Structure 1
Amino acid sequence: MSTTGKIAVSTAAIATAGAIFAYMGGATQANAGLYKNNAAIKKTEASNQWNYFQSKSTKQALAEFARDTATDDGRRQGWQVKVTRYEQEKTEIQAAAKKLEDEASRWDAQSETQMHQHHRWAQATTVLQVSIALAAIALLTRKKWLERAMYGVAVAGVAIGALAALHI
Structure 2
Amino acid sequence: MKCPFCNHEDTPVLDTRLSEDGHSIRRRRRCGNCDKRFTTYERIELTLPVIVKKNGSRTEFDPAKLRGSLMLALRKRPVSAEAVDMAIQSIQDKLLQSGEREVMSGQIGELVMRELKRLDKIAYIRFASVYKSFEDVAEFQDAIAEVGQERKGAKRRDD
Q: TM-score, normalized by length of structure 2?
A: 0.26
Query: Which has the larger share of strand?
Result: 2
| Higher-RCO chain (CA-CA 8 Å, sequence separation at least 6) | 1
Query: Which has the larger share of helix?
Result: 1
